[in-house]
């Protein structure tokens, strides 16, 4: 394991150089990895492990859209594609990649397949951390591990195909065999991680729920809506409001910040933009700190988990969700965005024609 300094703090990181794929394959050479669920994370992780040479099977409900997707991805019924029950029976490492609601519903089925010495694998700490609400309490004689890629399964797969790797968190919750640590690192390498950062189940889920409700999605969506609304109310056109709020953010600034950091961005913009950003960032930080602290407290108390479980388990949740998403999709802001993306696509096509 490597010791890397992050902003003055030393952290333990596992790299592919010190734990190469060949070592991961050797650690898991006698394991049958059963990927349960073929929705968000399942396809990317399963395909990456298959391409890396691991013994992988998929468990999914038959005659479902995800079953058909698995068939199209080359999984063979009766050979590498099975019902959830049969895959869990065959697997020695059971990867529970169902949705949080699905994990709760299927837990009795999976628990019955967890014979002594098997490994239960997660990519999210939700079910274990909030087990007072999920009732997901593993038997004491199995290993319980976690590898959480820091991105969608689609991103994990795309980076893998391109020869790269997505950073992942990893954790051991229960080590019944004495081999849980080497298993979780091997799994992290197998699914296509670039670097592996050690954490625990609770920290993973607390940071994840805070992040997706905060900067990554909730706060981002909220502040975009607020700025767009201000510009429109002050007389700016939809296209101008969108371009100054979203288009420049996503197509120019965020990629550059990701490559070079915010300090570089401040150093490479006009003095007007530079001065304004530096003068106002503190105001936004102080304004949002109370909200983010309230959010974290809500996550840590279990309130966010409770709301997720309650809302996700209602019979009409899907239709209610579609209504909420339609409201976002049909708003002037995101209808404008759809038009801007079309123009961007047409411009790219013209460039390709000329090249």
Q: Which residues are catalytic?
A: 124
Rounded Cα distance, 196 and 198, in Å: 7
35 in Cβ contact with 95 (< 8 Å):
yes
User: How far apart are alpha carbons 192 and 195 in whole angstroms?
Assistant: 9
248 is in an annotated binding site: yes
Helix (H) / strand (E) element for 328: namely helix 317-329
Is residue 172 packed enough to be buried (19+ CB in 10 Å), middle (13-18) or exposed (0-12)?
middle
Terminal CA-to-CA distance of the chain, rounded, Å?
Answer: 46
CA distance linking residue 171 with residue 181, whole number of Å:
8
270 is in an annotated binding site: yes
73 is an annotated ligand-binding site residue: no
Give CA–CA dist 82/60, Å, rounded: 7
The residue count of the chain comes to 355
List the binding residues for Mg(2+). 208, 212, 244, 248
Can you say which residues are annotated as belonging to the binding site? 208, 212, 244, 248, 270
Q: Which residues are annotated as a binding site for substrate?
A: 270
């Amino acid at each position: 394991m490597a010791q890397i300094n992050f902003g003055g703090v030393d952290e333990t990181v596992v790299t592919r150089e010190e734990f190469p794929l060949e070592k991961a394959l050797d650690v898991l050479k006698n394991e049958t990895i059963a990927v349960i669920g073929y929705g968000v994370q399942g396809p990317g992780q399963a395909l990456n492990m298959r391409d890396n040479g691991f013994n992988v099977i998929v468990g999914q409900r038959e005659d479902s859209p995800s079953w058909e997707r698995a068939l199209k991805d080359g999984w063979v019924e009766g050979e590498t594609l099975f019902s959830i029950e049969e895959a869990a029976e065959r697997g020695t490492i059971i990867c529970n990649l169902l949705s949080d609601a699905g994990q709760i519903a299927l837990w009795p089925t999976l628990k019955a397949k967890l014979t002594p010495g098997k490994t239960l694998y997660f990519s999210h700490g939700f079910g274990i951390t909030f087990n007072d609400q999920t009732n997901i309490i593993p038997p004491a004689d199995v290993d319980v591990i976690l590898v959480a890629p820091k991105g969608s399964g689609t991103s994990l797969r795309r980076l893998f195909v391109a020869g790269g790797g997505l950073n992942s968190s990893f954790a051991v919750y229960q080590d019944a065999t004495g081999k849980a640590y080497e298993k979780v690192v091997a799994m992290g390498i197998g699914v296509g991680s670039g670097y592996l950062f050690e954490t625990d189940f609770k920290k993973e889920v607390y940071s994840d729920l805070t992040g997706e409700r905060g900067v990554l999605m909730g706060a981002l969506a909220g502040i975009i809506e607020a700025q767009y609304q201000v510009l429109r109310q002050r007389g700016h056109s939809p296209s101008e409001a969108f371009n100054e709020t979203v288009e420049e953010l996503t197509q120019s600034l965020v990629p550059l910040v990701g490559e070079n950091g915010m300090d570089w961005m401040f150093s490479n913009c006009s003095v007007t933009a530079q001065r304004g950003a530096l003068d106002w960032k503190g105001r936004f930080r102080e304004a949002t700190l109370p909200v983010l602290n309230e959010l974290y407290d809500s996550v840590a108390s279990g309130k966010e988990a409770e709301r997720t479980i309650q809302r996700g388990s209602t019979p009409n949740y899907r239709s209610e969700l579609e209504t909420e998403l339609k409201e976002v999709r049909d708003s002037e802001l995101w209808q404008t965005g759809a038009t801007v993306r079309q123009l961007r696509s047409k411009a790219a096509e013209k460039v390709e024609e000329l090249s």
